[in-house]
């Protein structure tokens, strides 16, 4: 319909207005992570938003590492971030940049500010600077070094650059307004001495720019038009604008803030994840119980599921939290029509069909996905001895239990009716074998209508089955107690990982490769672990169970 109204979020409305008024000829956005850890689900929102806007407006998308703090940065983090962004489908093309590319230009910009009387070298310690800054109710006090001459400041700043000043002895500060109601404008530090080797520039520099000075310059150097960031930077916007204005950019970038993506009962803080890794509670930043993008990928989430999740969350100015169940809803929606439904027995007990020929093997036709005929079918071997789930047999069943128990008949999925005749226990009273008889007239697809059964159970052939390890995950946080204890430590769930070593699967799964995913009938969606699987010996991570009480809110 020609008159159909397209809903625009507030960022799109700002960009539309800027283009209409000629503030910018074309759009350039960027994603600027600090390489001091792995990206998490919240970063995915920013990546997809910035890349999506560049695509929508046929503009440019820059990938830039904000590597101005060598104390915490590693090449490992750089590579993991690049891999995550490419996996999500954001293509930066030739536009990969590093803040460290601009260190010379940033230094020159700082010198220009000194020459304009807009920056000075200060000898106050970090504690003294905090003390002089004042409070939200009281203005700050001017540094006794604030009125040094331009010549002295230039000389001292050069000495800082040349390695003649110890760490913490001097800083370069912007000269703005110590009485400003915005604390960020009270002569913020813009350069500090840090004798640290940088992962790209080595030992060339012993002074490094502060984030609030470097970031607006990086945007301006690259021609970014809309610098889209999260709400905590709203109070930093006046300083962002001050930097690009004072350094003399004619068409400065426009900073726009949006609400962060908060997920309930998850750990995203880098220092917490670092401690979980160091303490051996998780096996790395990509442990499938975490919500780093690498962890979600290893667990079996897809880029499409994360894009759907981000779309459902929307873009707004108001902070809010989203239930983790919504992320699970998105992966179910993405996988349910795409993936084959395979048979796997996670807690096996042997089922013997006493009246089935001992050496006979039948190959039964099984649909790969009943809801999607395009996925075709496969042949599954069937024989006298099978494995079924331990919970599918009970010696003394409760009411409305329709699976196997003495005297009851069920359908073996895609196969025959079987009737439980007896069972065998070990010395500890555990059932080790269930003995049945089958009715050859009841083969699936034969058109048999003689009688009906109330229960259908899945199985795998004992002789041809492959053995695999399966990992079942729960939230790493104890949801009933919340994320944090009173002392700030994490409330960890002791049952966040269950490892099942002796699972049996139909033989077609022997060829499964890292990141391949499947629905296991009745057990959930599973993915081949990319770290611990070996050829012919797969390890499967449960991505998500089959059902949830989560419902999408009505529009």
Measured CA to CA, the distance from residue 495 to residue 497 in angstroms comes to 5
Rounded Cα distance, 352 and 506, in Å: 17
Is 482 in the same domain as 443? no
**Does 436 score more than 60 pLDDT?**
yes
- Residues 359, 401 within the same domain: yes
Judge whether 251 lies within some domain.
Answer: no
Any domain includes 410: yes
pLDDT at 65: 97
Considering the domain architecture, whether residues 491 and 426 belong to the same structural domain is answered as no
Whether 270 maps to a domain, the answer reads: no
Token pair for 315: 């873009």
**Band of pLDDT at residue 550, cut at 50, 70 and 90:** low
How many domains is the chain partitioned into structurally? Answer: 3
- 441 and 353 fall within a common domain: yes
Q: Which domain holds residue 477?
A: 467-544
444 domain residue, yes or no: yes
The encoded tokens of residue 303 equal 């880029």
pLDDT, tens digit (0-9, with 9 covering 90-100), for 276-326 = 999 999 999 999 999 999 999 999 999 999 999 999 999 999 888 898 999
Q: How confident is the model at residue 548 (pLDDT cuts 50, 70, 90)?
A: low
Domain boundary pick from 426, 458, 490: 458
pTM: 0.91
**Residue that is last in its domain, among 458, 483, 515:** 458
Is 365 found in the same domain as 420? yes
pLDDT for the residue 347? 97
Residue 487 tokens read as 């002392």
Specify if 86 maps to a domain.
no
Q: What pLDDT score does 535 carry?
A: 83
In a domain, 302, yes or no: no
Query: Is there a single domain that holds both residue 454 and residue 471?
Result: no
The DSSP bridge pattern shows strands 466-473 and 431-439 to be unpaired
- Tell me what pLDDT residue 144 has: 98
Angstrom CA distances, 324 to 302, 403, 479, stand at 16, 33, 11
Question: How many angstroms separate the Cα of 534 from the Cα of each of 73, 503, 509, 512, 539?
Answer: 32, 16, 13, 10, 8
Percentage of the chain lying above the pLDDT 90 cut: 86
Q: 432 and 350 in one domain?
A: yes
Return the ∠ at Cα 28 (arms to 24 and 34), rounded to 5°. Answer: 140
Average pLDDT over every residue of 133-143: 96
d(CA 56, CA 316): 18
Q: Residues 345-372: pLDDT tens digits?
A: 999 999 999 999 999 999 999 999 999 9
More confident residue, 454 or 271: 454
Supply the pLDDT for residue 445: 87
| Same domain membership, residue 453 and residue 487 | no
> Where is the domain boundary, 433, 458, 483?
458
Q: Per the domain annotation, does 437 fall within a domain? A: yes
Residue 244, C-beta contacts closer than 8 angstroms, at least 6 positions apart = 216, 217, 219, 220, 252, 253
Query: Does pLDDT of 6 surpass 70?
Result: no
Q: What is the pLDDT of residue 2?
A: 46
Averaged over 195-224, what is the pLDDT?
Answer: 96
- Is 270's pLDDT higher than 90? no
Could you tell me the CATH number of the domain that includes residue 476?
A: 2.40.240.10
Same domain assignment for residues 507 and 422 = no
In whole angstroms, what separates CA 316 from the centre of its chain? 20
- Mean pLDDT for the chain overall: 94
Do 145 and 189 lie in one domain? The reply is yes
pLDDT at 1 over 50: no
Range with the poorest average pLDDT among 316-325, 451-460, 505-514, 518-527: 316-325
Answer yes or no: do 532 and 433 share one domain. Answer: no
Q: Is pLDDT of 3 > 60?
A: no
The string of pLDDT tens digits covering residues 441-456 is 999 988 888 889 999 9
Tell whether 427 and 348 lie within a shared domain.
yes
* pLDDT tops 50 at residue 340: yes
pLDDT of residue 89: 97
Tell me whether residue 142 is in a domain.
yes
């Amino acid at each position: 319909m020609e008159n159909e109204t397209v809903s625009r979020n507030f960022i799109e409305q700002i960009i539309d207005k800027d283009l209409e008024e000629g503030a910018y000829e074309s759009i350039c956005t960027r994603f600027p992570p600090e390489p001091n850890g792995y990206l998490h689900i919240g970063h995915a929102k920013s990546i997809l938003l910035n890349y999506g806007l560049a695509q929508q407006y046929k503009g440019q998308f820059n990938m830039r590492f904000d590597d101005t703090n060598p104390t915490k940065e590693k090449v490992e983090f750089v590579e993991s971030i690049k891999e995550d962004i490419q996996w999500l489908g954001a293509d930066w093309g030739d536009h990969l940049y590093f803040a460290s590319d601009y260190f010379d230009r940033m230094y020159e910009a700082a010198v220009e500010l000194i020459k304009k009387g807009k920056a000075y070298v200060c000898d106050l310690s970090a504690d003294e600077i905090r003390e002089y800054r004042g409070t939200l109710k009281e203005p700050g006090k001017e540094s006794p070094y604030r009125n040094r001459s331009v010549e002295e400041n230039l000389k001292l700043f050069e000495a800082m650059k040349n390695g003649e000043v110890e760490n913490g002895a001097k800083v370069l500060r912007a000269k703005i307004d110590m009485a400003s109601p915005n604390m960020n404008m009270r002569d913020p530090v813009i350069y500090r001495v840090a004798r640290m080797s940088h992962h790209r520039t080595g030992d060339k520099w012993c002074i490094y720019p502060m984030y609030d000075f470097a970031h607006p310059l990086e945007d301006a150097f690259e021609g970014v038009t809309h610098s889209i960031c999260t709400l905590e930077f709203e109070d930093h916007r006046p300083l962002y604008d001050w930097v690009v204005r004072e350094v003399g950019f004619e068409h400065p970038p426009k900073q726009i803030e949006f609400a962060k993506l908060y997920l309930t009962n998850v750990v995203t803080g880098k220092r917490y994840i670092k401690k979980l890794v160091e303490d051996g509670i998780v096996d790395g930043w990509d442990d499938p119980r975490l919500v780093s993008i690498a962890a979600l990928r290893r667990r079996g989430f897809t880029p499409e599921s994360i894009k759907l999740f981000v779309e459902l969350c929307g873009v707004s100015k108001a902070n809010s939290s989203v239930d983790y169940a919504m992320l699970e809803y998105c992966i179910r929606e993405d996988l349910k029509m795409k993936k084959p439904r395979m048979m796997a027995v996670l807690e096996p007990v042997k089922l013997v069909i006493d009246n089935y020929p001992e050496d006979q093997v039948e190959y039964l036709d099984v649909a790969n996905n009943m809801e999607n005929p395009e996925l075709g079918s496969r042949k599954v071997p069937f024989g006298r001895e099978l494995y079924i789930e331990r919970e599918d047999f009970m010696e003394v069943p409760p009411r409305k239990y329709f699976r196997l128990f003495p005297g009851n008949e069920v359908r073996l999925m895609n196969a025959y009716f079987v009737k439980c005749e007896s069972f065998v226990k070990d010395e500890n009273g555990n059932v080790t074998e269930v003995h049945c008889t089958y009715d050859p007239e009841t083969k699936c697809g034969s058109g048999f209508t003689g009688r009906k059964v109330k229960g259908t159970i899945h199985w795998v052939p004992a002789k041809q089955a492959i053995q695999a390890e399966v990992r079942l995950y729960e939230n790493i946080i104890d949801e009933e107690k919340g994320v944090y204890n009173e002392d700030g430590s994490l409330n960890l769930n002791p049952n966040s990982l269950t490892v099942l070593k002796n699972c049996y699967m139909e033989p077609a799964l022997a060829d499964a490769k890292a990141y391949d995913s499947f629905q296991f009938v009745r057990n959930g969606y599973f993915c081949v672990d990319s770290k611990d699987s070996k050829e012919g010996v797969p390890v499967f991570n449960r991505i998500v169970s089959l059902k949830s009480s989560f419902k999408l809110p009505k529009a």
